[in-house]
Structure 1
Amino acid sequence: MKVVSEVYFTIVICSYNPDDRLLQRCLNAVSRLAHHGFGSEVLLVDNNSNPPLANRLFVQDFLNTKPDSKIIVAEQQGLVYARIVGISQAKGEYLVFFDDDNEPQSDYLIEIHALNQRYPAVAAWGPGTVPVDFVDGIDSRIKEVAYGALQGKRENYTAFACLRQWQACYPFGTGLCIKANVLAKFMEWFNAGKLTATGRNGVSLASGEDLQMVMTCIALGYAAGHSPRLQVVHVIPGKRADMTYIKRLSYGSNLAFHTSIAEVLPEYAEVVNSQLHRPRRFAFKSAKRYLSALLTGSPAKMVNTINYIGAMSSLYRLYHLPVPKIVTAILKHAKLL
């Protein structure tokens, strides 16, 4: 079989103070990834973990059994900085990003390679199938909303697009695969200060850097999509299987949404202007929805409310407007500020 490239895929695993059980599952899954006619390397990026990843025996075992793997350290805190370090040292034509709580199916690289060959205009792929494994269990009352908040997916078909607004088929960070030349442009823009999303940073659950990587594909004229042929299990421990974490994650993800896209595609700010609610309407809808969620005790209503407040706050941030005081009070009551 003809070898496509000496290093076709660079697998980048970014980690900060991981749950050892999850990281070990991730590394075991990466060790089982099949290769048919192409090579790969693994970069394990330590974003200041304490203790360092290199001090963990199972990490050393992984490195010793995979000569095409190494640990690199990203000293500046924040997921985007870890990813930038990985991008800067990658040798592959495509980079595949796994978080330390991701468990890819063994044929993941084979399926991406097949998709790349069939759809050369698509520069970013993500999994269409993302089961969520709550390893320590979860309250059945919040399981469904947690599934959605934690990027669970059950798609039935391959889809992609090249539209300059976010589409349902565009991939998130879990299992994200992107062409190296696109990421070179992303890194150039980030280093120049054009892009500001830092991703998760310590205890902060803000996001946006994965969204900006995908939208860079679109800005360069490529398409992005997902496929059910790509499967990654998202492994969630008990400390992240509660409403406190889900609310923080939902708020952080939505808060970064509009501003992150507009930094990549400046015309986007004009496109979404009609979605902006005036302060009185924003405050009224937020208060009404939040009170209803509290009175009914509905996890779905609460997450929908937080999603609304986060997304609208993102628009206010985009247009440099102050968030209404009532909304700020709600966020403080919900322990999101």
Structure 2
Amino acid sequence: MPDKLSVIIATYNPDASRLRQTLEGLQQQSLSLAQWELIVVDNNSTQPLTIDLSWHPQAVIVHEARQGLTYARLKGFATAKNELIVLVDDDNVIDADYLHHVLEIFEKRTALGAIGGKSLPIFETEPPQWLKAFYGSLALRDLGDEAKIQAWENSYPQYAPIGAGMGIRKAALASYIKKAEDGQSMIADRSGSSLASGGDNDIVLEVLKSGWQVGYFPQLLLQHIIPQGRMQAGYLAKLENSTNNSWIKLLQSHGICPWPSIPAYTLPLRKAKAWLSLKAALSKSNYIKWRGYCGTMDALAVYKKY
């Protein structure tokens, strides 16, 4: 039977243990190896990527010199031979039936352009009690056991897929890829030590605006490995700040930001008031939330003379 799916792993200086778990999850897929190919995109790692993919007859490692997750994904899209694509991060362990379910969902629902499901944590160490408030920023989510399908409604859909484990119909990527090929401004995404994000959201919006539907399907289950370093207040504060800033810029770029711009000169006072109202000095959780607020305000600020 001919192959039907292309799995893309974009990676930069990956942790060997986590990447090994990701690949082991793929080796255990119930879908025959004859039905999917594996593309690993080495996004200019410090040392060239060396991993054993001999277990898969249709596996390839390709190199993308332009730094950033967006460029790595574009390289994967260009390399993919098949109509259906699944994005797997280098710290994801997908369920054994994941690829089978993706294929089944797309074959039954031809209007769907992108799909996703549950992303549950594997914590490498015991997480702090306050961490759950920031699951969304860590690409963790469980939206229940009922499938949800949404179309374009001039806003970002609640049940849109996240980048981890996203299944995409290649035809639905045409608008997103054309935007990149035409040299239009792309939403900044993870690059090196930067925690900027939004590339997967940009894909979702282009898919929706092209007339496709997106969906959440609970049978699409993956586990996201969360190391100790990502549970530290300093990291999460930077993550919340970058994520909120990127989110506003994404919505602005698509003309759907519900919040008005603010004059830049008001930033110090707004941040000072938020420091007090959020009681940022009293707990790590409050401080992280304050940093997220600052990221939002920075993105809304309009730098001009008044």
Fold match, TM over 0.5? yes
Equivalent of residue 87 in structure 2, options 70, 89, 97: 97
Rounded Cα–Cα distance in structure 2 between residues aligned with 1:171 and 1:39: 23
**Which residue of the partner structure matches residue 150 of structure 1?**
138
**Which residue of the partner structure matches residue 48 of structure 2?**
52
**Which residue of the partner structure matches residue 9 of structure 1?**
5
Deviations 1:247-277 (A, max 9, x none): 22222222122332443x3xx2xx5365445
Rounded Cα–Cα distance in structure 2 between residues aligned with 1:93 and 1:115: 14
Tell me if structure 1 keeps the 8 A contact 2:281–2:287: no
**Which residue of the partner structure matches residue 327 of structure 1?**
none
Rounded Cα–Cα distance in structure 2 between residues aligned with 1:159 and 1:38: 30
- The code of the aligned residue for 1:310 comes to G
Deviates more, 1:90-99 or 1:239-248: 239-248
Q: Does 1:137 find its partner at 2:122?
A: no
Considering only aligned residues, what root-mean-square deviation do their CA atoms show, in Å? 2.3
**Which residue of the partner structure matches residue 332 of structure 1?**
none
Where does structure 1 differ by over 6 angstroms across 4 or more consecutive aligned residues? Answer: none
Quick one: structure 1 residues 192 and 293, their matched pair in 2 at CA, closer, same or farther if it must change by over 3 Å? farther
Tell me if structure 2 keeps the 8 A contact 1:44–1:72: yes
How far 1:68 moved relative to its partner?
Answer: 0.9
**Which residue of the partner structure matches residue 213 of structure 1?**
203
Equivalent of residue 296 in structure 1, options 282, 293, 300: 282
**Which residue of the partner structure matches residue 293 of structure 2?**
308
Equivalent of residue 24 in structure 1, options 20, 23, 33: 20
TM-score by length of 1: 0.82
Equivalent of residue 180 in structure 1, options 170, 177, 196: 170
Q: What SS does the corresponding residue of 2:220 show, helix, strand or coil? A: strand
How far 1:38 moved relative to its partner?
Answer: 7.3
How far 1:307 moved relative to its partner?
Answer: 2.8
How far 1:69 moved relative to its partner?
Answer: 0.6
How far 1:167 moved relative to its partner?
Answer: 1.7
Tell me if structure 1 keeps the 8 A contact 2:280–2:290: no
Deviates more, 1:223-232 or 1:251-260: 251-260
How far 1:10 moved relative to its partner?
Answer: 0.5
Q: What SS does the corresponding residue of 1:178 show, helix, strand or coil? A: strand
Tell me if structure 2 keeps the 8 A contact 1:145–1:303: no
TM-score by length of 2: 0.90
Rounded Cα–Cα distance in structure 1 between residues aligned with 2:43 and 2:215: 28
Tell me if structure 1 keeps the 8 A contact 2:33–2:56: no
Structure 1 unaligned residues grouped into runs of 5+: 325-337
- The code of the aligned residue for 2:132 comes to E
Alignment of 1:1-337 (within 5 A): 3=1, 6-35=2-31, 39-54=35-50, 59-60=51-52, 63-127=53-117, 129-138=118-127, 140-156=128-144, 157-162=146-151, 163-263=153-253, 265=254, 268=255, 271-272=256-257, 274-277=259-262, 283-291=268-276, 292-299=278-285, 301-316=286-301, 321-322=302-303
Q: Number of paired residues?
A: 302
Structure 2 unaligned residues grouped into runs of 5+: none
